[in-house]
Amino acid sequence: MLQALRLSWVPRCLDHLGPISRHGTPNIGIIADWPLPLCAHEYVQRNVRFSPLPENQVHELADAMGPQMVLFASDYPHPEGAADAVERFHTMLDDKLTPTRLADFFGGNAQALLEGRVAR
């Protein structure tokens, strides 16, 4: 089902960045020297976050990318910024995410990113 989502490209992209995938398997880039101390996907996981639209299956994205990589963002007048956006996400997520993951989605992940730390 993840394939039908607008952010479905992200997990595949993370798997093919740099010489080693997130799962430890070699990518074609292994033939080149990688001069940085972290793997490419680790830099993305540390520094990039994605804000899904209300129709995205946020819990599936969190499972595929890592729960710290998805967060709530409002962008009025777009659907994720509508007056009922928080309620729409709660309706979708309350029975699919733990209270900790839910709190991280609604603010903890953004706070962790701004403070330079990884969310729980």
Res 90: pLDDT:
92
Q: How far apart are CA 15 and CA 41, in angstroms?
A: 7
Decide if 96 is inside a domain: yes
Task: Confirm if 2 and 61 have CB atoms less than 8 A apart.
Answer: yes
Res 6: pLDDT:
75
pTM equals 0.78
Q: Residue 102: which domain range?
A: 2-115
Res 3: pLDDT:
44
pLDDT block averages, 10 residues each, the chain of length 120: 64 83 78 81 88 82 88 79 86 92 94 81
Decide if 120 is inside a domain: no
Res 2: pLDDT:
47
What per-residue string of b and e applies to 30-40 under the rule 16 or more CB within 10 Å gives b? eeeeeeeeebb
Structural domain count, the chain: 1
